[in-house]
Amino acid sequence: MQNIKSIFKREFLGYFRTPVAYVFLIVFLIASVGLTWFLGRIFDSNEASLARFFMFIPWVFLFLVPAVGMRLWAEEKRSGTWELLFTLPISVTEAVIGKFLAGWLFLTLAILSTLTLPLTISYLGDPDWNIIFTGYFGAILMAGAYLGICSLTSAFTRSQVISFVISLVVCLVMVFLGWSVFNNFLLSIHLPNTVAMAIANFSFISHFEPMTLGLIRIQNIAFFAAVIVASLSLNVVALKR
Amino acid sequence: MIESLSLTKYYGPKCVVDQVSFQVKPGEVLGFLGPNGAGKSTTMKMITGFLNPTNGSARIDGVDVVKDPINARKNLGYLPENGPLYEEMTVEEFLRFVSSIRNSTRDTEEQLSAVEDVIKITHLEGVRHQTIDTLSKGFHQRVGVAQAIIHDPKYLILDEPTDGLDPNQKNEVRQLIRRMAESKAIILSTHILEEVEAMCNRVIVISDGKILVDETPESLKQKHPHYNGVELHLSGADIEGIERQLRDSFPELGIESRDNVIEILPASKESIQAKIFNYIHENSWKIESIRPMATPLDDVFRTLTLDPE
């Protein structure tokens, strides 16, 4: 536990030791809020809700979470510091968890920095804060699942660029499976409804959407938790030498 | 004790380390010598538990490094090749991080004082607030050594500890290692042979993954063809006459002359200096100097590692 804390602290503060964190936070804010305003036209909708904000979140994460996750292991491998790390008296599991939690907390802070949006809306109207809360909860949980995958893919390479691209592709698949356009396509090629449903069930969107509507369901939470646990377990295996 | 038991490593079909076995006890400083790519670093990485051996095993203080890596590493300090460090951290931040893991059983105050101690020992006071990527090579390497000894380990493995340092810095690191040698078992790799003579009381030469030699630096020196040889420097004297007379008096010795120098080699590595000196004295020859012949370990190393045998 003490070791996880040490790893976590080093990794988390590491984001702020380089300009990466600040660039990321600014780009994330511009992208998420910008899309909501200019593409989602939240102001014109005349609704006191964040539905149009949450709608874009899976797509914004698609680019930004790999940007956070790509360095987790690729950078250690490139610079050789993983030799230092894994000759310290810690287990691989502790290192993986510590690093993951640091990235997750960083993403959480980024997500919470968009709280200005609901605050503005509640100043202008009367939104349902329960739905906003479940939406944010879902977004943070989903960010963890994205990051788990990125951490895993980052362990396969010493190049951050390759790590980013692979993460992006894998996450893209995870989003696409539940995208309504893709699901309609599945149905249009006469796949049985149950098969299409089963495929859609593996998507981030299918499990995130209910939370943006105020539904907290065990199966959705379990899905994201399972993705995190599975990818981190594989991550530990991938780091065996 | 550090034990390497038939450590073997294959990268694909290529055997990089072939059944390497040795033991290092406290008080011993083992110099690991070998050409680049001989398998020095790979062997060290296996002993630290960073790489899994294909065959064989390694034990530190009796603890198997594969079966129980965490306990095995507790008493071990390790400086990897090229000293990889977290470049974006300051020296102090980095050492505090290592101390928090290495000294996790101690309380925070002791962890911090361990950092202070090690900063003093390795003379890092002046750069403690600098980020590591701004440090010169010498300071960089010292931070690497500092993290390896921050928990005062019983066992130390240093992969090319003086690589890239200037002569003064090298000397400092050597003194540091000699100071620590009394109570610790140390393995260090190098390809600077004078370093082995300066620091080690045991040397292993490894080539193509196999141990060629495991002995003291002194006995390694004895392998040199010029061991215990004597050089007579003369100028203006009757060199040919002296050479002939020496040959007649000492038929068992190897005697050759070139320019103004006569080289005399013992028949079987015995010391001949006194004998020759007295003989010169008796004959009242005028010579400039008499000195032992140089026996650089470099030559021994070359013979050992280039020899097709």
pLDDT band at A183 (very low <50, low <70, confident <90, very high): confident
Q: Could you tell me if B115 and B238 lie in one domain?
A: no
A83 contacts B45? CB cut-off 8 A: yes
Residue B202 belongs to what domain range? 2-221
Question: Is B301 within a domain?
Answer: no
Position A193 scores a pLDDT of: 81
Rounded Cα gap, residues A203 and A222, in angstroms: 13
> What is the Cα–Cα distance from B297 to B35, expressed in whole angstroms?
13
The count of domains in chain B is 2
DSSP assignment of chain B equals -EEEEEEEEEETTEEEEEEEEEEE-TT-EEEEE--TTSSHHHHHHHHHTSS--SEEEEEETTEETTTSHHHHHHTEEEE-TT----TTSBHHHHHHHHHHHHTTTS-HHHHHHHHHHHHHHTT-GGGTTSBGGGS-HHHHHHHHHHHHHTT--SEEEEESTTTT--HHHHHHHHHHHHHHHTTSEEEEE-S-HHHHHHH-SEEEEEETTEEEEEE-HHHHHTTSTTTT-EEEE-SSS-HHHHHHHHHHH-TTSEEEEETTEEEEE-SSS---HHHHHHHHHHHT---SEEEEPP--HHHHHHHHHH---
Model's pTM, two decimal places? 0.86
Q: Which residues of B touch A241 (CB under 8 A)?
A: 50-52
Q: Which residues contact A94 (CB under 8 A, 6 or more apart)?
A: A3, A4, A7
Q: Residue B216 domain-assigned?
A: yes
Residue B155, in any domain of the structure? yes
A18 min Cα distance to partner chain B (Å): 7
- The CATH number of residue B189's host domain is 3.40.50.300
Q: What is the mean pLDDT of chain A?
A: 90
Q: Are residues B191 and B279 in the same domain?
A: no
Domain membership flag for residue B179: yes
User: Hey, where are the domains in chain A?
Assistant: 2-240
Q: Are strands B155-159 and B185-189 parallel, antiparallel or unpaired?
A: parallel
Q: What is the pLDDT of residue B307?
A: 60
Predicted local confidence at residue A186, as pLDDT: 79
pLDDT tens string, chain B, 309 residues long: the values are: 999 999 999 998 999 999 999 999 998 999 998 888 888 999 999 999 999 999 999 999 999 999 999 999 999 999 998 889 999 999 999 999 999 999 988 888 999 999 999 999 888 999 999 999 999 888 999 999 999 999 999 999 999 988 878 888 888 888 888 888 888 999 999 877 778 888 898 999 898 889 988 888 888 878 887 888 888 887 766 777 888 888 888 888 888 887 788 888 888 878 888 888 888 888 877 778 888 888 777 778 777 777 654
| B143/B280 same-domain check | no
Whether B197 is covered by a domain: the verdict is yes
Same domain for B57 and B174, yes or no, is: yes
- State whether B132 and B255 are in the same domain: no
Give how far B70 is from chain A: nearest CA, Å: 5
Q: Do B45 and A17 touch (CB under 8 A)?
A: no
Averaged over A200-210, what is the pLDDT?
87
Measure A238 CA to nearest chain B CA, in Å: 14
B131 and B19 both lie in a single domain = yes
| Domain contains B79 | yes
Whether B252 and B278 map to the same domain: the answer is yes
- Does B61 share its domain with B198? yes
Residue of B nearest to A83 (CA): B50
Q: Are A40 and B111 in contact (CB under 8 A)?
A: no
Same domain, B126 and B215: yes
In a domain, B64, yes or no: yes
ipTM of the shown complex: 0.88
Is residue B122, in this structure, part of any structural domain at all? Answer: yes
Which tokens sit at A214?
């105020």
Would an 8 Å CB–CB cutoff place B50 in contact with chain A?
A: yes
Residues B84 and B216 in one domain: yes
